[in-house]
Chain A
Amino acid sequence: MSQLGTYLLLFGLVVSGYGLLAAAVGAKTGRPALVESARRCAFGLFATVAAACATMLAALLSNDFAIRYVAENSARETPAFFKALSLWAADDGSLLLWNLILAGYIAAVALRFRRDRSPTFPYALSVLFGVQVFYLVLINGPARPFASLANPPADGRGPAPLLQNHPLMAVHPPFLYLGFIGFTVPFAFGMAALLAGQGSDQWVSVIRRWALVVWCFLTVGLLLGALWSYSVLGWGGYWAWDPVENVALLPWLVCTAFLHSVMLQERRGMARLWNIALVIGAFALTTFGTFLTRGNVLSSVHAFTQTSVGPAYLAFVALVLLAGFGLVAWRLPELRTPASLTSAISREGAFVANNVLLLAAAAIILLGTTFPLVVEAVSGQQVTIGGPYFRSSVTPVFLLILLLVGTAPLLPWRATNRSRALRRLRGPVTAAALVMIATAWAGVRQPAAVAGFGLATLVFVANGQELLSGLAIGRRALRGGAVRALARGRRRHAGLVVHLGLALVAAGIIASSSLGQQAQVTLKTGQSTVFAGQVLRYQGLHTDRQPQRIVLTATVSVTNPGGGTAGTLGPRMNLYPAATEPIGSPSIRRGIVWDLYASVISLQRGGGSATFRFYHNPGVNWLWVGGLVMALGGAAAAWPGRRRRDSGDDQGASAVRKRTTVEAGAR
């Protein structure tokens, strides 16, 4: 099976190499037959890489320990579910998943654009194949998953204990990768626009939808990562400002900025080159993130085992930056848009502010993540930049962003009528002020939290008000139902729904960061303590022997002060043979307003007494719900409209082209 996998990957490399050359030559010399053959290759490539993945899956499930990856990441006792998930548990396997998803995206592009005759498509195809070639070279060279062992062991080492502890392992990496790798598509089309020398209006409406879908995937991926950190790692929090977490957030911020500034281009023909620069930046950040994660540069919980691929990733990052921004610089004088604005207090102005704030947040996070490297390179000093720094430097920007999200949807295009704007503002601002007063009265002591709650309310009420008024106007004017009214202004309404989700997420973040409590207490069997207004009693230890681990559950009963039993908590310690220390699993009682969270730190006297950490975490569930609302809103915005047929975008593109030529002619 090792040989089969190796040959499949090698074949995939050959196919993608041909695709790259054929598309590039076809683009340059204008030969549609070559381009078409390259397009067809995309399907063959996907089939090949999928077959290689299937081979690895089969090897994992059949305990083929002759393959080194299987021997290092799977064991006989591992449950089948987690054996399958071991496919992406370590560096080489996850690279295989990466290649699969990339090949899938290329095949999707090939399918979607099968009737496209524009001059930019072949260039885009060649860029996509180019990126695929890089990752296939890696997987055929330094990071070979199908490398075989001379003396296969009788049993494998098993996956890292932390990675076989929770079913979230099944969804977090795939969604995250779908998000990261998806940025390749807008990047390819942006580069194509630059390479072909064409104005980028042709692709903007299409790429906007691709970017939106990718944004949804990345939102879900990040959310699942936070959920993992909260439900699996047992430290009571969901975001540790780990370097890898930070670099995963950066493309999300840049993509959000892009999704807003692309409307400037659609509506007003402005910011064309800026949008291309944004998609290039987003892709460059994902490659930089891959370098940071796999290149063993910074210490992180996510760092893969050491491999020698660091220099290769660095070279790729350099290539992407040079090619991308170099082309932007080259084309800058030609593709510059002469833009004009009627008033700064308008939606256009708001989008500019949006871009400034989101990119400033991204720049600050990037700065904090990479600064230890800079300091060490310059002065040899080793420093840590951790959570407190990020929290204090990102919070002001985050609050400004909330302020913008709460006021910008009320602004019309071009210029604002002041009285109308004030009328629309009075509800949200009043609600925000009431919440701030209530929060201050309730005893919250951090000004940032009070401001944050007020701003989250502002966002929620402002966007909700716009949504309802849009619904009402739609129903009155069109004499249709609410659903029809919703569907007509779908993009705008979906955007407002995303903002509503953001308000929930913001409220959740602020509540959990400023209002939480924690306590560490050692309890003997039968002993109880009072925490967060409830009585917690340690009832005893329960041992469960499973084939791959021993699970020790410390049962804690939760009673209300009035006397009624509220339930039980069962934080666990999992003892894996491969690990020197037990892996803790927390137990969470989730509630609408707050969670009661327990993890067991250590056991003494064989379970006679146990040290617990109890957490009172308010607002964490608002995070998950709000994040889900954001992702669903994004999906609703990306959903193809009923009236636009498949070629509708081409029609739109050609109409826009007419407009730009007319504009150009008039100047």
Chain B
Amino acid sequence: MNAAGPLRRARAGLPGLIVLVALAAGLAALVIVAAGGHPPASQAQQVQQIAAGLHCPICKDLSVADSPAPLAQQMRQEIARKLRAGESADQIRARFVAAYGDSVLMSPPRQGVAGAVYYLPWLILAAGLITAFALLRRWLRAPPPGPLQTSPQQASPQTGPPQTGPPQAGPPRASPRTGPPQAGPPQAGPPRASPRTGPPQAGPPAGPPQADPPQLSAAQRRAVARALARLRAEEPG
């Protein structure tokens, strides 16, 4: 193992490098597209853009651009006429608002009470993320439940000592457990017919390497890997 050290380390680092490069390439493409800007819109496209922001007055949900109604068609013609006369998009919209009220706009004006609808989604997302972070932090700090969390057929751990978890401070990741780590599903369903090669405690845990991994022979490691593979295939998700 030591002889192939540097090469192994380089190969181990390769997936990370690939992911990094791919990520960078994707983001670069995104940035280029975002910075790319649009060609100047033709008049037909401008009419479409303005019409897409107006609510067809006689339809229920459609914009003036999407609506097949004759009134919507005439609104589009009016927009085209006003654009040819040199009016700006804002002026044209203001005309329709003067006749129909604010409800003719597909999105509410940014001022006033209605304008709150533009920043409230961000508040909601922020509130959700903050709650989630607080919750995760609390769960990360909480002591892990003792070795009693395994399925009933594994008799020994249930009589073991409770709560030999780590102290509250610091990350609880490196906690030496006295029970079998959860390499398999603790689903308390009817016992599965597939024989387990005993409690799978000798296998490498799914977390970061523990303080003192037990030394195993190659054959033992292979047997353990097979058992783990079998268990993973059984994972009900």
Contacts and interface: CB of A to CB of B under 8 A. Distances in A.
Direct contact of A and B (CB under 8 A): yes
Interface of A: 234-237, 240-242, 263, 266-267, 269-270, 299-301, 338-344, 348-349, 352-353, 355-357, 359-360, 363-364, 367-368, 371-372, 374-375, 378-379, 381-389, 393, 397, 412-417, 419, 422-423, 425-426, 429-430, 432-433, 436-437, 439-440, 444-447, 450-451, 454, 470, 473-474, 476-478, 485, 488-495, 520, 584, 599, 601-602, 613, 643-644, 648, 651-652, 655-656, 658-659, 662-663, 666-667
Contact of A344 (B15, B117, B136): B136
B117 A367 contact: yes
A430 B22 contact: yes
A382 B104 CA distance: 9
21 contacts: A241-B61, A340-B140, A341-B142, A352-B132, A360-B128, A364-B121, A371-B116, A384-B103, A384-B107, A414-B182, A432-B26, A437-B25, A470-B233, A485-B233, A489-B235, A491-B236, A494-B237, A613-B68, A655-B189, A659-B151, A663-B148
A267 B191 CA distance: 16
Interface in B10-30: 12, 15-16, 18-19, 22-23, 25-26, 29-30
Contact of A601 (B36, B55, B73): B73
Interface of B: 12, 15-16, 18-19, 22-23, 25-26, 29-30, 32-34, 36, 38, 52-53, 55, 60-63, 66-68, 70, 73, 101-109, 112-114, 116-117, 120-121, 124-125, 128-129, 131-132, 135-136, 139-140, 142-146, 148-149, 151-152, 158, 162-163, 172-173, 182, 185-190, 192-193, 206-208, 226, 229-230, 232-237
Contacts of A454: 26, 30
Contact of B61 (A242, A355, A446): A242
Contact of B53 (A301, A388, A492): A388
Given A371-B114, A476-B229, 10 more contacts: A341-B142, A363-B121, A384-B104, A454-B30, A477-B230, A644-B190, A655-B151, A655-B189, A658-B188, A659-B148
Contacts of B121: 360, 363-364, 367, 393
Contact of A659 (B55, B188, B206): B188
A72 to B, nearest CB: 21
B149 A663 contact: yes
A419 B114 CA distance: 49
Contact of A419 (B16, B26, B53, B106): B16
B120 to A, nearest CB: 6
Nearest to A485: B233
B61 A240 contact: yes
Given A235-B62, A599-B68, A349 B185 contact: no
A386 B136 contact: no
A655 B152 contact: yes
A447 B34 contact: yes
B221 to A, nearest CB: 16
A234 B173 CA distance: 58
Contacts, number: 277
A473 B229 CA distance: 6
A368 B106 CA distance: 12
B117 A384 contact: no
Contact of B172 (A342, A368, A397, A470): A342
Nearest to B143: A340
Contact of B15 (A364, A386, A419): A419
B206 A447 contact: no
Given A240-B61, A584-B68, A375 B107 contact: no
A130 B201 CA distance: 50
Nearest to B184: A413
Contact of B144 (A342, A379, A451, A495): A342
Contacts of B132: 352-353, 355-356
Contacts of A348: 139
A-B pairs with the 4 shortest C-beta distances?
A492-B237, A415-B207, A655-B188, A433-B26
Contact of B108 (A300, A383, A440, A495): A383
Contacts of B143: 340
B149 to A, nearest CB: 7
A352 B38 contact: no
B19 A445 contact: no
B233 A473 contact: yes
Contacts of A388: 52-53, 63, 106-107
A45 B2 CA distance: 75
A476 B152 CA distance: 29
Given A263-B237, A492-B235, A659-B149, A385 B128 contact: no
A348 B139 CA distance: 11
